[in-house]
A and B are shown apart, each in its own frame.
Chain A
Amino acid sequence: MRLSFLIVDDSPAMRSFIRRVLNLSGIEVSECYQAGDGVEALSVLEREWVDLILTDINMPGMNGEEFVRRLEAHELWKTIPVIVVSTDSTETRIRSMQLLGARGYVKKPFTPEDIRAEIERVIAASVEKGAI
């Protein structure tokens, strides 16, 4: 299955790294859009459909929490699975992002195998629900 992604992170270096890791992980990527914060990400979603979103939390402008909240409030966008990719791997943060609607969580630092395993888990759950 070829998947389209939206990577949301305020660091261009981290976005490049995640894009590279997607390639290294062996996942088939059809399109990979990038955004520097939640506002830019919503703007991308106005124009393009993606199968999965990878987002950071701590970002200037609209942070990851507000971004996920906006997605959940949208009739169509709430069906797109969101995986949080963050340095904050505390239990409280993971739980709060899951309550907001995130379906997966990858803590930085991560390996290509970590990303692949979480994407496969989240995609499988979404396919089962008929969302993809």
Chain B
Amino acid sequence: MTRVATPQAIEESVAEVLDRMFFAESVPDVAVDCGKPDSISMSVEFRGAALGRITVTVSAESAQRLAADFLGIEEAASADGDTVTAVIGELTNMVCGAVLSRKSSGPFTLGTPPRNGCGEGEKGICRSFDLGDGGLRVCLEYSGSGEAEE
């Protein structure tokens, strides 16, 4: 099992999830504008070889388009709020799973991601990405076990 540093694991995981499931590309190291109240932020707690939480925040425009791309909806605007939230929940879960699979060989369990206020839960090691029409930010915070590093 190749263990990689957390920032690299986040960057690789975001690129992999967006490319394979959302047919989208990202550019790392661009700050996401989280000041808008309609940005969507979700966190998922993980337990297993490590304990902690991953938070994903997506700007409203990008969230709408990602949901449409994920579900094959031609008009991004026609994806309703609940659908967009559900898809960003899946994005959060997949990014979390992809990061943990790069960090540990032990199995893990994920909770159901609740929706946060924007900026809430953004603790630990964070990386931001430019999606062209908005931004995405991922933060990983360990809360226990020997996996906590960097």
Measured CB to CB, the residues of A under 8 A from B are 10-14, 16-17, 20, 58, 60, 86-93, 96, 107-111, 114
Contacts and interface: CB of A to CB of B under 8 A. Distances in A.
A107 B101 contact: yes
A11 B106 contact: no
Contacts of A111: 20
Given A17-B71, A108-B94, A88 B101 contact: yes
Interface in B94-115: 94, 96-98, 100-101, 104-110, 112
Given A13-B86, A88-B101, A109-B20, 12 more contacts: A11-B86, A13-B70, A13-B71, A13-B83, A58-B109, A60-B112, A88-B100, A89-B97, A108-B21, A108-B93, A110-B20, A114-B20
B33 interface: no
Nearest to A86: B97
Interface of B: 1, 16-17, 19-21, 67, 70-72, 83, 86-87, 89-90, 93-94, 96-98, 100-101, 104-110, 112
Contact of A88 (B16, B70, B72, B107): B107
A90 B72 contact: no
Nearest to A89: B101
A14 B104 CA distance: 25
Task: Name B's interface SS.
Answer: helix
Contacts of B110: 58, 87-88
Contacts, number: 73
A110 B20 CA distance: 6
A24 B147 CA distance: 38
Contacts of A86: 97
Contact of B105 (A16, A91, A96): A91
B105 A92 contact: yes
A118 B134 CA distance: 35
A87 B71 contact: no
B87 A13 contact: yes
Contacts of B67: 13
A107 B70 CA distance: 17
